[in-house]
Amino acid sequence: MSDAIGLAVDIKKRGRGGERKIEAMAADSDKDLEGVLVVALEQAVAAPYCSGRLADAGARVIKIERPEGDFARGYDHLVKGESAYFVWLNRGKESVCLDLKRDDHRAVLGNMIAKADVFIQNLVPGAVARLGFDMDSLRKRYPKLVTCSISGYGEEGPLRDLKAYDLLVQAESGLSSITGNEHGMARVGVSVCDVAAGMNAYEAILEALIARGRTGEGAEISVSMFDGMADWMATPLLQHEGGRPPQRVGLAHTSIAPYGVFKTKDGADILISIQSDREWRILAERVMGDKALAADPDFANNVERVKRRAKTDGKVAAAFGAHNVDELIEKLTAADIAFGRVNTPAELSTHPHLRRITIGTPTGPVSYPAPAAQRSVEPRKYGSVPSVGQHSAKIRAEFAPK
């Protein structure tokens, strides 16, 4: 296994030479994890998100696909014939197709794991053990190995065997109950449970690699979609247990008014957020042009405005509806009022603040939003999305039983 991860070394003990070395390693962000081998027995969204971020940082990621390929390849064919999810989540990886019912293919996987730094899998709980790769045994055999299992409800507990997909976990965790409006519940429009699990796995693996640089020992990690979303639901849960369960309010705020969407004269939707009574007075006087409202004790503080939410919102709606969007945005900007346009993916596509990267796919280059983190060093270069089994022959030869 690679000893490339030495990030936890105390550079104060290493002296100035050691400090310069760390800086030199960090100067090329494409190679932060260079020399790290990640074997990913993965499908769908959560595990590919995690391994994809490791690939972005320079790790060699070998994606194990079933003979017909990761089923996420078939979610749609909207990106030059490729799946939108698959193109987003699988850049920079090598793809090998293995039929793990075959002894010789399991032997190839075993040899890969023997040389790996990280082994990620998101099969149903118990499946990887039935294939002969239970995590306890792997960790005993390869003490430096970091293993990570991603599942719906974890490896233990009463729901461990329950099938888990993103929307099911949104419902089970309570997220659906606080999403939507007074007319009903709604799904969060992106796969937040899957993505949260992938993010949690990614950070846990990085922590384990840092610790391994200090101790020489790997780790066994388990991440569940439910736990990740339950963590994100901490505030609504505490509000409920404190006696005030959160209500579905659509594009509004349960505790603040005005905080919501208002339509302009020419039909644009503008969302504003008033965070203080001072901001309310500025909004009323400088944007709405109503000095009397700014001084009205019935609306002077947030508690009173929330009591009279319908009237508060009605006054704002009337004022905003008298202006075209460009004029209103100019007023809001001049008054330093927080606002945002309610855009669709169509507007995001041409948004002036959107950063993009371009990556290769089996059917040609594709441009989509860049990862959030920006670095002061040279921009990262991102690898291509592999075709099904693109690297099978090379990888099977490399890790064939001797």
Catalytic residues: 194
Strands 146-151 and 219-224: parallel
> 224 phi and psi, to 5 degrees?
-115, 150
Of 162, 217, 180, 173, nearest to 197 by C-alpha is 173
CA distances from 131 to 119, 121, 138, 162 (A): 14, 12, 12, 20
* Beta bridge partner(s), residue 61: 38, 93
* Beta bridge partner(s), residue 118: 38, 146
Residues composing the chain: 402
How distant is the alpha carbon of residue 303 from its chain centre?
35
| Alpha carbon distance 56, 58 (integer Å) | 6
43 is written with which tokens? 């499908």
Exposed, middle or buried: residue 6 (CB in 10 Å: 0-12, 13-18, 19+)? Answer: middle
DSSP secondary structure, 109-121, as one string: HHHHHHH-SEEEE
Alpha helix stretches (DSSP H) within 191-340: 192-215, 225-232, 234-241, 277-282, 291-295, 302-307, 309-320, 325-334
Q: Are 280 and 305 a contacting pair, CB within 8 Å?
A: yes
- Tell me how many degrees the CA angle 338-344-350 measures, rounded to the nearest 5: 90
Q: Are 59 and 39 a contacting pair, CB within 8 Å?
A: no
| Alpha carbon distance 361, 386 (integer Å) | 7
- Neighbour tally for 131: CB within 10 Å: 16
